[in-house]
Amino acid sequence: MQIEFDAFLDWANKRFSNVLIKGNEIRLNSVFAEDKGHHLWCNPSGGKKGVVFGVYHCFKTDKKGTLVNLVMDVEKCDFYTALRVLRGSARVTSKELVEILDLPEKNINNKKNEIKLPECCERINKFSNLKIHLTAIDYLDKRKIDFNDFYVCYDGNYKNRIIIPYFDFQKRLIYFNSRALHETRLRYLGPPKTIGVGKEDVLYFPEIPKDKKIYLTEGEFDAYSLFLSGLSSAACGGKNLSDIQASVLSRFNICLCLDLDKAGTSALKSMKTKLDAFNSSSEKNRITIIRPAEGYKDWNEMLIKFNKDVIKSYVEKFERPFDLNSLGDLNEL
């Protein structure tokens, strides 16, 4: 059991009235239903699927998810704060996180360092360094990306790079990535590892999601391209989906929008399996799939060639359920 029963019960007693215990379940007045009856059933052991972060199910509204997501929703807090609540301790140690998430210890750092944008960094539309700012604007204009949402560095370790900020659901800066404007072997560069946050710990959202559905891409500019096309989107930063990312996404319906290449095709099955493992919902077609049109590697390439309305129409026409038992030729999706 990954979530401590007594820890969740203690939290529930502080946040809900008239808590009921039925065997290994804790039943609450649902925060999702108007009549507030004991419709919210919570199972810290993860239910039939043994979901690693426990499960809840509101039988009045049929809303489902993990207990981590429930605490995040009620407390309006981040993943790690919710996890500390459910582990019954003031702090979660690196060793505990390794055990819970089954991640290499080098990826875990419990030290809280404040995330800041790099030095000598400012919004692209500020024009302090005309040459670098104009170069950044030209680069993004060619990709049909709105430069007003991004930064650029005019000196320091990230000189001549576009800075892509990451925000959590409370609009706090939690990470950043950078894209070089010059020829270099390292096109993308994130913060130093000493901050204790890696790209596998975060998701990039062009805008705080307002819908239950998320269109998940690999890269930030692909997510931004879908966002410009009127779709709620996010980027996971590559071909792999971490446990932390899957847990955050478990509250949403997901459309996998990976690149149209062999690596993207290979990653689809592992991402689907990971997303299923972190969600207790039996909702039909919770995970769907759409690939860029033939001849285009990713969504930004499509945006460059076509307009945003064409992309949205294409997605609406060709998005379909993702069934592991009948994948067929994924390159034709």
pLDDT of residue 207: 94
**CB 249 within 8 Å of CB 258:** no
Residue 33: pLDDT band (50, 70, 90) is confident
Tell me which residue has tokens 């993207």: 264
**CB 264 within 8 Å of CB 218:** yes
Percent of the chain at pLDDT > 70 equals 85
Please compute the mean of the pLDDT values over residues 259-272 and round it to a whole number.
89
Q: In whole angstroms, give the CA distance from residue 310 to residue 135.
A: 28
pLDDT of residue 326: 47
Tell me which residue has tokens 């809280």: 112
Tell me which residue has tokens 């994924």: 330
Which of 92, 93, 58, 66 minimizes the C-alpha distance to 8? Answer: 66
What's the alpha-carbon Rg for the chain, to the nearest Å? 21
DSSP-assigned states of every residue in 122-184: EEGGG-SSHHHHHHHHHHHHHTT--GGG-EEESSGGGTTEEEEEEE-TT--EEEEEEEESS--
- Helix residue spans in 174-235 (DSSP H): 220-228
- Using one digit for the tens of pLDDT, what is the confidence trace for 86-121? 876 544 444 444 444 443 333 333 334 568 999 999
Cα three-residue angle 125-127-129, rounded to 5 degrees = 140
Which of 123, 105, 269 minimizes the C-alpha distance to 198? Answer: 105
**pLDDT at residue 202 greater than cutoff 80:** yes
Which of 280, 147, 279, 290 minimizes the C-alpha distance to 221? Answer: 147
Q: In whole angstroms, give the CA distance from residue 46 to residue 92.
A: 20
Domains annotated for the chain, with CATH where assigned, are 5-107 (3.90.580), 121-196 (3.90.980.10), 203-332 (3.40.1360.10)
- Least confident segment among 113-122, 137-146, 301-310, 322-331: 322-331
- Using one digit for the tens of pLDDT, what is the confidence trace for 63-73? 888 888 888 88
Which of 218, 302, 296 minimizes the C-alpha distance to 260? Answer: 296
Average pLDDT, the chain: 84
- Using one digit for the tens of pLDDT, what is the confidence trace for 242-263? 888 988 898 899 999 999 998 8
Percent of the chain at pLDDT > 90 equals 50
- Using one digit for the tens of pLDDT, what is the confidence trace for 204-222? 999 999 888 999 999 999 9
